[in-house]
Chain A
Amino acid sequence: MRLKELQIEAFGTLDGKTVSGLTTGVNVLYGPNESGKTTLLEFIRRILFGFPNKRSSSKYNLYDPRIGGVCRGSLICQLRNGELLSVHRKDGAKGGALTITPLNENDSAKREKSLDPFLGFASKTIFENIFAVTLDELQDINSLNDEETTNRVYGAGLGLGSVSLAGVESKFRKLGESLFLPRGRSAQKAAVLLSEIQSLEKEIGDLQDEILLFDSYHDEKNRLKETLNVMNETCKGLENEKALWDMRHDLFPNYLNRVDAESRLASLDTVPEFSAKDSETSTRFKIELDRLNKQIREEEKNLRQVEVDMENLHWNADLLDLEACVENLFHQEGQIQTVLNERDALNDEILRVKEEVQLKASLLGLEEGDAGIDSINLSSADKAAIESAEEIQGRARENQTLSKARLDDYREQWARNVAGKPTVPVWMISVLTLLGLAGIGLGWEFVNPLLMGLAGSLIFLGLVSLLFFRHKADGEPDALEKHLKAQLERCVQEQEKVHADWEDWIRKKGIPRILTPRQCREFVTDFMALQSLVADKNLKEKRRNEMRLWLDEINNVVENVFRVLNLSSLPNDLLKTIRVIEIAFRESQKSFEQDKLLQKRLQELKSRLDQLNKELKSQRDQQKQWLQDLGLKDEVDFERKFPIWEERQKLKEYIEDQNTHIQSRVGSDAGFDTFIKDLKATTPEQCKQELKQLKESLDLLQEERDTINRQIGELQNKIHRLATSDDLASKRMQLESCKQDLQFVSKEWAVTQIALYQLQKAKRKYEEERQPGVIRSAEKVFSSITGGKYERLQKLFDSDDIFAFETGSGLSKTSTQLSRGTREQLYLAMRLGFIEEYEKSSEPLPVIMDDLFVNFDDERREKTLQVLADFAKSRQVIILSCHQHALEDYEAIGAKVISV
C-alpha cells in the first residue's frame, strides 16, 4: 500500500490542507522547521492506526485542531494490486470512526471495516517502530548503554522497536524470582510463606498436643482432688484432737476454780435451808415494823398538837346566837350607807326648794306660805279658757273696728256717688232673663241652635243689667247707714260684755289682780311651775321622814347587838359600829368553826392510832410465826445464819457456772464426766505440749494441701484455657490464609515461568523462521552503506547481540563495539532488513523517515541514499527534510520533492 494523497481536514495547526503527488519511490516532503512535517507524520500514523485516547493526553500530543472540533482527515492510498482507497478517520471512541471507501468504480461495492488486510496486519507498534523512523530515535541509539543498544538493534530485527525483549524477559525473571527461587534467597514470597506455614503448623501441632492433654489434666485434677479429700479427712481428725486439747487448755482454769469452790463449801457450817426470798421477807418485816412505829409516833404528835390548838380557841356564843339578826344587819350595811348619804342630800334639797317657792310666790304676788297658793284655783285646763277669752275679746274688738270701718267707708262712698245712673226696673231684667231661659228650653226642645243662641244673648243682657242696677240700689243712704250704725253699736256692747265676763272669771279664780288674757296666760304658766315646786318639796319631806323612821329602827338593833359585845362605849357612827360588830362576829364564827374541825381531826387521829397499833401487833405476830417456821429463835438468829446460807449458795452457783462453762464446750452428758476425769489426769503444761505438737502436724498438712490446691488451680486454669482459647482456630485460619497466599504465589510464579518459557520458544521460532531473512536483508543493506567494509552480519544462538564481520579480516564487532555512525547505520540496516523480510508476505507499507543521513559522512550518506533508492524501487519512502542543500542529493536519486 502506498499513499497517494493526504487530505487534512483538521489536525493540529493544519486544516483543509492537501498534500498530493505522492508516488512510489522516494518522496521528500520539504519544509523549514515548524512547517508541520512531524504533524504530517502523526497525521498519517493516526489515520492508519487510530487517534489516542483522550486520557493519554499527558503521554501524547493530541493535536487538537486549531479550528476546533475533532481531528479528522483522509489518506488516499493505492494497493499493490492498483486498487485506490480513501481511508477517512474522525477522532472518537476506540481510536475514532474509520471509513474505508474504495475509489475504483469496479470495486465500489467492496467495503472493508478494518484496515488490517491492507496494512498486512502490521500492528501500530510495528508501524511505529519500524516503518516510521525518526532522527531522534536513530540518535537515541547512541545514548543507550551496551545492553540496551544490543536490545534495540536486536529488537529492530524483531520488529519490537524500543521495547526490549531482554528487558521484558528480565522483568519476568525478576518477578518470578521475587515469588520463588528453588534455592538461594529466602526473602522471596514462597519461601517466606513456607516458613510461616511450617511455623504455624508447628504452633498448631503444639496446641493440639496440649489439647490431647486436656483429658489427662481432667484425670489428674480428679486424682488430686481425691488426695486432697483424704488429706482433708486427716486434717479434720487432727483438728478435732487439737480442738479437744485446746478445750482442755482453755477449760483448765475453770476446772481449778471448781475444785477450789468445792473445798470452801465443805468448810462452811450447816444452816437451815433458806430461800432467797427469806432475806426479802426479813427485810420486809423490818421495814414494815419500822414504818408502823414511825407512823404511830407521828400520829401521837399530831394528836397532841390538835389538843393544844383546841385549848387556844375562844368565841362569843351570845353573839353567835344573834347570827340571823347580825347577818341581816351586815346585809343592810350598804343600804344604810345609801340612806345616810341620801338623807343629807335631801335635807339640802328641801331647803333649796323652800327658798325657790318663796321667791316665785312673791313674784306672782301671792301670800307667803302655802295658803296663798292654795287660794288660787287654776289648772292646766284653764289655759284653754284663757285662750278662748283672748280670742273672744280679740274678735269683739275686731268686729267693732270692722263695723266702724264699714260705716266710714259707706259714708265716704255715698258722698262720691252723687251723680245718679239710669235705672232699669228689676222686673224688666227679670222678664228678659225668663224669656232667655224659655228660648233655651225651646231651642233645646226643637233642636234649633239659632234659637238657643238668641235666648243665651237675652240672658246675658238681663244679667248685665241686673248688676248695674243693683249697685245703684245699694247707694240707698237711709237703711244701709242705719243698719251699719246699729251693727257698730252691737259690737261695742258685745265688747263690753266680754270684758265684764273676763273680770268675773279672774275674780272667781282667786287671781289677786285683774290681768289681760295674755298676762293671765303667763301667770298661769308661772303659777303651774310654782305649784310643781311645792309638790316636789312636799314629796321630799315625806321621804325624809320615812328614812328617819327606818334609821331609828336600825339604831335600835345595833345597840342591842353591841351590848352583847360587852364593850365599854358605843361608837357614834352607825356604820363603824356595825363594822366592829361584824369583826367580832366573824372572829367568833371562825373560832367556832375551827373548833369543830379540830374536834373532828382529833377523832380521826385517835381512830388512826388505834388502827396502827393493831397493824403493829399483827406484823409482830407474823414475824414471830415466820421465824418459828424457819426454826429460828429470833431475828438475830436469822441475821447470823442467813449469810452463811448465802455464801454456800454462791459457792454452789459458782461451781455450777464452772460446770456450765465446761459443759458448753464439752456437752453435759457422759462426755462431761469423762472430760473432768481427763482433766484430773492431766496438767496445763501437758496440754500446752500436746497442742504444740498438733499445731506442727496441722501446719505441715496445710502446706501439703495448699500445694495440691495450687496444682488443682493450675490444672483448672489449663483446662479453662484449653476449653476457652480459640488460639487453635485462629492459627488454623492464619494457616489457611498462608496456604492460600502460597497458592496464589505459586500460580503467579507459574505465569512468569510460562511466559519466559514461551518467550524463549517464540524467540527460537523467530530466529529459525524469520530472523535469517531479516539478517540477510540487513547484511546486504549494511554492506552497501559501509561500502563493503562489513560483509556479514550474524546473530548467535543464546545471544541477542548482532555481530558484524569485517570484509577480508573476518574480525567481528558487536553493535556496541561499532562507532557511533556505523552503529546507526547497522540499526537502520536492521530496520530496512526487517521491512524487506516483513513485506515478503504482505502488502508493503510506506516507509516514513526523517532526514536520517545528516550525521553520516559524505561517502556513507551517498551510499545510504543509493541503498534507499534501491530500497524504494518497489515501495514508497517518504522523507521529511528541512535541509535545502540535501534536496539536490535526493533529487539525484530520483526522489520527488514536495514542498509543504
Chain B
Amino acid sequence: MNSFRFIHCSDLHIDSPFVGLSLKDPELGGCLRQSTQQAFENVVALALREKVDAVIVAGDVFDGAEKSLHAQFKFRDSLAKLSSAGIPAFIALGNHDPADTWSHSIQWPEGVHLFGPDVESISVKKNGKTLARIYGISFPTREVRENLAVRFPKNDYPEFGVSVLHCQVGNEPEHDNYAPCDLADLCGQGMDYWALGHIHRHKILRDRNPAIVYSGNTQAKNRRETGEKGCCLVTLKANQAPEIQFEATDSLRYFREQLDIASVNTIEEVVQECQNKVMDLLAVAENRSAVIELTLMGRTSVHAELQKGNNLHDLNSELEGRLKADSIKVWILLLDETAGPHDLESLKQGHDFTADVLSVYDELETPERLEELESPLRSMFQDWRGKEYVSSLSKEDLRDLVAKARDLTLDHLLEQDSP
C-alpha cells in the first residue's frame, strides 16, 4: 500500500442549460452548451495526463429531469477514453441523475462502475496488487432524504478506503437537503477520503482522518457560480494526510463584476475603464473563454448618455470589438446601474414637486411601506398567466427596483446635461 492517486469530481451537469443569461449571440449559446461536456473532457484529459489510478464521480452527471440522452451518451463516450487508458471510473449517482433517469440501453465501457442503491465496495488493482477499496452508493430516485452515510461499512482492509457519496453535510439552507448527514457520520469508519458531491463550491470540510471533500462542480452553470471550477487531484499515502490539489477544469468562466464609473466623464473613458477591467479578468481566466458580466455603477455624468437609445449596446459591441483580436473568446454583458449625478439630499430640501417625489420614495424605505407596491405590480406578479416564469420579488429586489424607479423619475423630471 504505497499510494493511491485519483481524481474526484462531481456535479458535471452535462448539457444542463446555463441559467440566468440572456443569449443574444448564438456562438455564446453553443459555447455554453458545450462547456459542461468540455469540462468533463478536461477532467478526462487531466486523468490521462496524470496517469491516475482511478476517476471518481460523486453524482449529478447530468440533469435527469431534462431527460437528456445526449448527455448520457457524451458521458459514456468520455468514459470510454478512460477505459481505453485502463483507468477505472467509479460513479455514484445523485439527486439530479438518480438511477431511474438513466437509459438502460447504454452500454458502459469496461472498467466503469456505477454504484447501485446499496453500498458496494470495489477494489482498485494495479499490477495485480490492490491499491484501494472504493465504497459507494447511488440515489435510486431523486427524493432521498435518508442519511445514506450511516449505511457505509467500516473499512477493515489494509488498503486505502475511499467513499463516494452525493449528500448534504450539515445544514445549508441554500441547498436542497438530499441524503443529509453530519460530519460525525463520516468519521470513524476507517475511510481515508470521502469524495462528496452536491455542493457546487469546492470545500474541504476536513483535511485528514478522514479527508472530507466537496470537489465542487466542474463548470459554472449559472450566473451566481463565478470563479474557477474544477476537480480534486488526490494522492493518498500511508500515514500521511491526503494531498488534495484543486485543478480548474472549467472551459468557460463566468465573471460578475461591478465597475464604479462615478468619476468618469466621457463614454470613451467608460470604454477604457471597462477594457482595463476586462483585461484584468482575462488574466485571471488563464486563456479560457469567458463571459464577463460587468455592471456599471455610480452617479455619473455619463448616465444620461448611457441611457440614450442603443448607447449601452453600442458600448458593449465596441468593447467586444476591441477584444476580438485576441484568440480567446470573450463575451461582455454590460449592465447599466448608474444614476444621474443628482444631489438627492439637496433636492430633498427643495420646496417643489421634485422634493415631494423624493419624499414619497423615502417613505418606501420601511419594509411595511414596501408592501404597498404589491398593488401596482399585482397585474404581472400575481394575476398574469405567465407569473410562474417571473420570480417573485424579494424585499431586496423591491428596494433595488424602487431606487431604479426614483432615478428614472429624476432623469425625466430634471434636465441632466447642464450642471
Q: Is the CB of A761 within 8 A of B20?
A: no
Contacts of B103 in A (CB 8 A): 214-215, 218
Q: Is the CB of B352 within 8 A of A838?
A: yes
Q: How far is the CB of B10 from chain A (nearest CB, A)?
A: 20
Q: Is the CB of A742 within 8 A of B352?
A: no
Q: Mark B401-419, 1 if CB is under 8 A from A, else 0.
A: 1101110110011110111
Main secondary structure of the interface of A (DSSP, over half): helix
Q: Is the CB of B415 within 8 A of A163?
A: yes
11 extra A-B contacts, CB within 8 A, seeds A180-B384, A762-B360, A763-B353:
A52-B418, A60-B418, A168-B412, A194-B389, A211-B67, A211-B69, A723-B73, A729-B68, A751-B401, A753-B376, A766-B353
Q: How far is the CB of A764 from chain B (nearest CB, A)?
A: 9
Stretch from B117-125, B197-205, B248-256, B390-398 contacting the other chain: B390-398
Contacts of A55 in B (CB 8 A): 266
Closest 5 CB pairs of A and B: A159-B352, A95-B419, A50-B419, A754-B405, A194-B386
Contacts of B346 in A (CB 8 A): 114, 116, 121, 123
Q: Is the CB of B413 within 8 A of A160?
A: yes
Contacts of B66 in A (CB 8 A): 208, 728-729, 732
In this complex, the member of A733, A734, A742, A756 whose beta carbon has the largest number of chain B beta carbons within 10 angstroms is A733
CA distance A763 to B376 in the complex (A): 16
Assuming the A-B contacts A55-B266, A740-B22, are A123 and B390 also in contact, with contact meaning beta carbons closer than 8 angstroms in the complex? no
CA distance A121 to B67 in the complex (A): 64
Q: Is the CB of B373 within 8 A of A757?
A: yes
Q: In chain B between 17 and 35, which residues have their CB closer than 8 angstroms to a CB of chain A?
A: 17-23, 29, 32-33
Query: Which residue on chain B has the smallest CB distance to residue A727?
Result: B70
Q: Is the CB of A743 within 8 A of B391?
A: yes
Contacts of B414 in A (CB 8 A): 123, 125, 163
Query: Which residue on chain B has the smallest CB distance to residue A50?
Result: B419
Contacts of A211 in B (CB 8 A): 67-69
Interface: B359 (CB within 8 A): yes
Q: How far is the CB of A831 from chain B (nearest CB, A)?
A: 13
Query: Which residue on chain A has the smallest CB distance to residue B348?
Result: A121
Q: Mark B51-75, 1 if CB is under 8 A from A, else 0.
A: 0000000000000001111110100
Q: Is the CB of A737 within 8 A of B412?
A: no
Q: Is the CB of A723 within 8 A of B353?
A: no
Contacts of B379 in A (CB 8 A): 180, 182
Query: Which residue on chain B has the smallest CB distance to residue A758?
Result: B360
A-B pairs under 8 A by CB, number: 232
Assuming the A-B contacts A53-B417, A736-B18, are A751 and B404 also in contact, with contact meaning beta carbons closer than 8 angstroms in the complex? yes
Q: How far is the CB of B245 from chain A (nearest CB, A)?
A: 31
Q: Is the CB of A753 within 8 A of B357?
A: no
Q: How far is the CB of A513 from chain B (nearest CB, A)?
A: 146
Q: List 5 A-B contacts (CB under 8 A).
A: A53-B418, A125-B414, A126-B350, A214-B105, A754-B377
Please pick, from A50, A53, A120, A763, the residue contacting B301 in the complex, using a CB distance under 8 A: A53
Q: Mark B105-144, 1 if CB is under 8 A from A, else 0.
A: 1000000000000000000000000000000000000000
Assuming the A-B contacts A180-B380, A190-B380, A726-B33, are A123 and B356 also in contact, with contact meaning beta carbons closer than 8 angstroms in the complex? no
Contacts of B355 in A (CB 8 A): 121
Instruction: Number of A interface residues at 8 Å Cβ cutoff, please give it.
Output: 87
Q: How far is the CB of B416 from chain A (nearest CB, A)?
A: 10
Contacts of A732 in B (CB 8 A): 15-17, 66
CA distance A728 to B62 in the complex (A): 13
Q: How far is the CB of A148 from chain B (nearest CB, A)?
A: 16
Q: Is the CB of B70 within 8 A of A726?
A: yes
Interface: B175 (CB within 8 A): no
Q: Mark A181-202, 1 if CB is under 8 A from B, else 0.
A: 0100000001101100100000
Interface: B349 (CB within 8 A): yes
Please pick, from A124, A171, A725, A763, the residue contacting B419 in the complex, using a CB distance under 8 A: A124
CA distance A743 to B335 in the complex (A): 14
Query: Which residue on chain B has the smallest CB distance to residue A729?
Result: B15
Q: How far is the CB of A215 from chain B (nearest CB, A)?
A: 5
Contacts of B415 in A (CB 8 A): 125, 163
CA distance A746 to B387 in the complex (A): 10
Query: Which residue on chain A has the smallest CB distance to residue B301?
Result: A53
Interface: A49 (CB within 8 A): yes
CA distance A51 to B401 in the complex (A): 33
Assuming the A-B contacts A159-B354, A742-B390, are A733 and B32 also in contact, with contact meaning beta carbons closer than 8 angstroms in the complex? yes
Please list the residues of chain B having a beta carbon within 8 angstroms of any beta carbon in chain A.
15-23, 29, 32-33, 66-71, 73, 103-105, 265-266, 301, 346-347, 349-357, 359-361, 364, 373, 375-377, 379-381, 383-386, 389-391, 393, 397, 401-402, 404-406, 408-409, 412-415, 417-419
Query: Which residue on chain B has the smallest CB distance to residue A182?
Result: B379
Query: Which residue on chain A has the smallest CB distance to residue B223?
Result: A740
Q: Mark A111-154, 1 if CB is under 8 A from B, else 0.
A: 00010100011111110000000000000000000000000000
Contacts of A123 in B (CB 8 A): 346-347, 350, 352, 354, 414
Q: Is the CB of A755 within 8 A of B17?
A: no
Query: Which residue on chain A has the smallest CB distance to residue B418?
Result: A52
Q: Is the CB of A739 within 8 A of B70?
A: no
Interface: A724 (CB within 8 A): yes
Q: Is the CB of B417 within 8 A of A52?
A: yes
Contacts of A95 in B (CB 8 A): 419
Q: Is the CB of A733 within 8 A of B23?
A: yes
Q: How far is the CB of A492 from chain B (nearest CB, A)?
A: 151
Q: How far is the CB of B396 from chain A (nearest CB, A)?
A: 12
Assuming the A-B contacts A728-B15, A729-B68, A743-B391, are A215 and B350 also in contact, with contact meaning beta carbons closer than 8 angstroms in the complex? no
Contacts of A120 in B (CB 8 A): 350-351
Query: Which residue on chain B has the smallest CB distance to residue A208?
Result: B67
Interface: A750 (CB within 8 A): yes
CA distance A158 to B354 in the complex (A): 9
Q: How far is the CB of A150 from chain B (nearest CB, A)?
A: 16
Interface: A730 (CB within 8 A): yes
Q: Is the CB of A212 within 8 A of B389?
A: no
Q: Is the CB of A751 within 8 A of B33?
A: no
Q: Is the CB of B104 within 8 A of A215?
A: yes
Query: Which residue on chain A has the smallest CB distance to residue B352?
Result: A159
Contacts of B19 in A (CB 8 A): 736, 740
Contacts of A736 in B (CB 8 A): 17-21
Interface: A759 (CB within 8 A): yes
Contacts of A577 in B (CB 8 A): none
Q: Is the CB of A756 within 8 A of B376?
A: yes
Please pick, from B71, B265, B373, B383, the residue contacting A182 in the complex, using a CB distance under 8 A: B383
Q: Is the CB of A754 within 8 A of B401?
A: yes
Contacts of B405 in A (CB 8 A): 751-752, 754-755, 758
Q: Is the CB of A765 within 8 A of B418?
A: no
In this complex, the member of B18, B69, B355, B406 whose beta carbon has the largest number of chain A beta carbons within 10 angstroms is B69
Interface: A744 (CB within 8 A): yes
Q: Is the CB of B390 within 8 A of A743?
A: yes
Q: In chain A between 705 and 732, which residues have their CB closer than 8 angstroms to a CB of chain B?
A: 719, 722-726, 728-730, 732
CA distance A351 to B415 in the complex (A): 171
Contacts of B347 in A (CB 8 A): 121, 123
CA distance A740 to B19 in the complex (A): 8
Contacts of B266 in A (CB 8 A): 55
Contacts of A755 in B (CB 8 A): 405-406, 408-409
Please pick, from A215, A728, A838, A842, the residue contacting B68 in the complex, using a CB distance under 8 A: A728
Interface: A165 (CB within 8 A): yes
Contacts of A190 in B (CB 8 A): 380, 384, 386
Assuming the A-B contacts A214-B105, A729-B68, A751-B404, are A765 and B356 also in contact, with contact meaning beta carbons closer than 8 angstroms in the complex? yes
Contacts of A53 in B (CB 8 A): 265, 301, 417-419
Q: How far is the CB of A194 from chain B (nearest CB, A)?
A: 4
Contacts of A728 in B (CB 8 A): 15, 66-70
Q: Is the CB of B409 within 8 A of A735?
A: no
Q: Is the CB of B21 within 8 A of A737?
A: yes
Contacts of B359 in A (CB 8 A): 762, 765
CA distance A56 to B401 in the complex (A): 30
Q: Is the CB of A762 within 8 A of B32?
A: no
Contacts of B404 in A (CB 8 A): 751, 754
Contacts of B104 in A (CB 8 A): 215
Contacts of B401 in A (CB 8 A): 747, 750-751, 754
